[in-house]
Amino acid sequence: MRASLIQIGVDEDESVDSRRRRVAALVRDQDDADLVVLPELWTTGAFAFESFAEAAEPLEGATYEAMAKAASDTGVWLHAGSIPERDPDGTLYNTSLVFSPSGDLAAVYRKIHRFGFDKGEAVLMGAGSDLVTLRLSETTVGIATCYDLRFPELFRGLVDAGAEMFVLSAGWPERRRSHWTLLAQARAVENQAYVLACGTAGTHAGVPQAGHSIVVDPWGEVLAEAGPDEEVLTVDLDPTRVATTREQFPALKDRLLGLETPRR
């Protein structure tokens, strides 16, 4: 399986419409890939909180249309990153969209862990509640978004649902880049699964982005890592390595299920 992670540079001087066209063209250039991955909130920038409400789209809005077409024109699976979605009830969500090579919607994931503590996304957006997996070229893929990377229980839940590969879109800040790399490797090692984590480049609302999109194999080895700027990171993966790693080092079988949280 060949995967291309498009680490988009989000520049506030570029309009959302023009970025959408530019990203669709970048997706179309990846016609030798099986899977293309985009970052979190690349239409607005992940830290451009003030523009979320105005830029929010219905699920099947302009980004959905453009990305469904880019996927079908190119014949690739496309994790189109996330959009600020406005639900019909008015709630905003940070929503990831995955399209099949025929351009059909294959998965929708609303980010569960919202970032910002008592401000930003955490107060402006609603929280998703559903773990999401999909079958993609004989592999079960679990979806996660940015801050979710800090919550190992989410990834364990995805493993319990069959995940062999995690695809994560992010807008991770440069300031905590060391956590990004460490956590991507940790999620791969502890779950014996591939991690494909696609971030952004540039500075969003004054927050410099880490870039450094990364692909980690089920043994925790970094297969490919981007630099800080806009870049397409392409890597060839062997999805059967998940089963062999889990057979040869069967640590997941030693989980103690049903451990209770101690009472205080």
Ligand X SMILES: O=C(O)CCC(=O)C(=O)O
253 labelled catalytic: no
28 contacts ligand X (rule: CB under 6 A): no
Site for ligand X contains 255 (CB under 6 A): no
Judged by CB, which is closer to ligand X: 64, or 115? Answer: 115
201 binds ligand X (CB under 6 A): no
Nearest-angstrom CA–CA distance, 40 and 38: 7
- Give the three-class secondary structure for 224: strand
- 40 an active-site residue? yes
Catalytic-residue membership of 111: yes
Binding test (CB under 6 A) with ligand X, winner from 176, 221, 244, 247: 176
Size of the site for ligand X (CB under 6 A): 10
For 72: left if phi > 0, alpha if psi spans -120 to 50, otherwise beta; the answer is alpha
- Least distance (Å) between residue 46 CB and ligand X: 5
Least distance (Å) from ligand X to the CB of residue 3? 22
155 part of the interface to ligand X, by CB under 6 A: no
181: which 2 tokens? 């790399």
CB 226 within 8 A of CB 5: yes
Query: Strand 92-99 and strand 201-204: pairing?
Result: unpaired
CB of 115 to ligand X, least distance (A): 3
Please give the full DSSP string across 28-44, using - where no structure is assigned. Answer: HT-TT-SEEE--TTTTT
Taking the complex as a whole, how short is the minimal distance between the CB of residue 130 and ligand X, in angstroms? 18
Q: How far apart are CA 92 and CA 49, in angstroms?
A: 12
Largest Cα–Cα separation, the chain: 57
Q: Does 150 bind ligand X (CB under 6 A)?
A: yes
β-bridge partners, 166: 142, 195
- The answer to the question of residue 171 lying near ligand X (CB under 6 A) is yes
Tokens of 243: 């089963």
Residues 129-148 close enough to bind ligand X by CB under 6 A: 146-147
Q: Does 177 bind ligand X (CB under 6 A)?
A: no
- Site of interaction with ligand X (CB under 6 A): 46, 115, 146-147, 150, 171-173, 176, 179
Residues annotated as part of the active site: 40, 111, 146
